[in-house]
Structure 1
């Protein structure tokens, strides 16, 4: 008897390959190797067949374990535990304090976790505890982003962080519309 099996498409294979590679390097504490592969992928603008940036996939894989633990803390409404989990990524940055790749991993982890605290609600509609956690993680991501200019680094990844931070930025003060009488 034959059972038909659908082979994964090239996009799925490529995506899984880069996510797995990033996770493997982080688990091995091979942050220097991850940084090299991240920079190569960024510099050469490597993409999957479905046009996902390889550098972003490596970084996503690198933060996957920490994010799983931190998301568990969010589900239990434990903001201090969530912060402590992501502090492990800050330790990885201590070995390479000026490395945009490890900082990007940490910054996007904070953005992702802030979004988990927010859920589907607008930031203004959150409970005080969730709003504090959301704000804290977005501020931490902004602190990391302030170290790297996407244009100077020629980095689409850092541009992604800057765009993600816009959701937490205060809106511009708008003057009330004026009416003119003709």
Structure 2
């Protein structure tokens, strides 16, 4: 595939200068120096994005309908979202967000109890079970309850304070078993419901932790899911994470599934599926660089942004290149060239595609989910903005040092004389 470095009309500055192309973020510059350089960057910052608003709207709708016990209406809306493949601007499934909102009250109370080292009361999950019995033919209701059990499984399995309770192993197994019983016999293809297939994939991940020697056909489940809903990058990202050695695969299987997925979805994503499958895997395990075809990955970055030229995607991929693939992360010597190749893509993503900053995306690239309690939203936004501006400032430090300011607009990145 053709690899594009950038459109010349967008790269040339209004003053006729051309921004630097070093592609290396300096690790020797101090925060104070980067703060000074950042003051010469003109980039609008969006604190509440269309993606956030869309996710919140679907989750809030699911929560409201569950609280009002409007189960038939909730089931109908999940069915419709599945059938229409309704998604947020960033590709998140509306059906899954509705289901998440519907169970969020029950799960948050249970997680709070487990964080305190107390076994949660069964009232909430028992009430869900009663609802499932009252709606035996409604797959969206079975889906909500099954996913609630899977949430409970992971809470008992992963919350440190929960592991101090003697009942933790049996409780975790119970919830995994109930999820299996609820999903058994429900077919995502028959229902035209990607959410059901996604739930089966999540169930396979849970079952693989409960019994030695259990080998769910996780890659087959994900193949079905991606074939049913190829436009969603979330499924491909989840596949890659599942293929890591720490989960249910190996680096060789990760590479194989990335290539197979790219072939099957070429008409939708070009090479983009290869990149999506590796995206979360690389964020979680730098060892995934071992078999990575860096040039193919970069082709995929180009193809994604050609097909999704929105600012959510531009920020997501820029933050990945700048933060996840930054110089200084611990990688094997043989993998440093691949890491640097991915990191260098930051330059053309900034030049050709970015014209507004979504700070929370950059913060998410810094914080692995569940690694530690997160600070306030305001602090996260501030951290994300500073991280992004430091990365941009380091990328174009030579240009700024020559008296230029870096400005971003929908027509491209350009340079202006500093005031």
**TM-score, length-normalised on structure 1?**
0.81
Q: What corresponds to 2:63 in structure 1?
A: 23
Indicate whether 1:138 and 2:176 are aligned.
Answer: yes
Question: Using the alignment, how far apart are the partners of 1:79 and 1:92 within structure 2?
Answer: 23
Q: What corresponds to 1:62 in structure 2?
A: 102
Question: Using the alignment, how far apart are the partners of 1:148 and 1:110 within structure 2?
Answer: 16
Mapping of 1:62-141 within 5 angstroms?
A: 62-79=102-119, 81=121, 83-119=122-158, 129-141=167-179
> Does structure 2 conserve the Cα–Cα contact (< 8 Å) formed by 1:148 and 1:158?
yes
Deviations 1:136-161 (A, max 9, x none): 10000000010312222222111112
Deviations 1:107-161 (A, max 9, x none): 001101100111178xxx9975211111110000000010312222222111112
> Does structure 1 conserve the Cα–Cα contact (< 8 Å) formed by 2:115 and 2:159?
no
Secondary structure in structure 1 of the residue aligned to 2:62:
helix
Indicate whether 1:150 and 2:188 are aligned.
Answer: yes
Question: Using the alignment, how far apart are the partners of 2:154 and 2:100 within structure 1?
Answer: 15
Q: What corresponds to 1:9 in structure 2?
A: 49
Relative to 1, partners in 2 of residues 1:127 and 1:72: Cα closer, same or farther, differing over 3 Å? closer
Deviations 1:57-81 (A, max 9, x none): 0010011111122223323444462
Q: What corresponds to 1:37 in structure 2?
A: 77
Relative to 1, partners in 2 of residues 1:85 and 1:47: Cα closer, same or farther, differing over 3 Å? same
Deviates more, 1:148-157 or 1:16-25: 148-157
Q: CA deviation at 1:12?
A: 0.4
Question: What RMSD, in angstroms, separates the aligned Cα atoms of the two structures?
Answer: 2.4
Question: Using the alignment, how far apart are the partners of 1:120 and 1:11 within structure 2?
Answer: 29
Greater Cα radius of gyration, structure 1 or 2: 2
Question: Using the alignment, how far apart are the partners of 2:70 and 2:107 within structure 1?
Answer: 18
> Does structure 1 conserve the Cα–Cα contact (< 8 Å) formed by 2:109 and 2:120?
no
Relative to 1, partners in 2 of residues 1:9 and 1:77: Cα closer, same or farther, differing over 3 Å? same
Question: Using the alignment, how far apart are the partners of 1:49 and 1:6 within structure 2?
Answer: 15
Give 5+ residue unaligned stretches, structure 2.
Answer: 1-44, 216-419
Question: Using the alignment, how far apart are the partners of 1:118 and 1:31 within structure 2?
Answer: 29
Give 5+ residue unaligned stretches, structure 1.
Answer: 174-182
Secondary structure in structure 2 of the residue aligned to 1:29:
coil
Q: Report how many aligned residue pairs link the two structures.
A: 166
Relative to 1, partners in 2 of residues 1:37 and 1:133: Cα closer, same or farther, differing over 3 Å? same
Question: Using the alignment, how far apart are the partners of 2:133 and 2:214 within structure 1?
Answer: 36
> Does structure 1 conserve the Cα–Cα contact (< 8 Å) formed by 2:110 and 2:120?
no
> Does structure 2 conserve the Cα–Cα contact (< 8 Å) formed by 1:70 and 1:86?
no
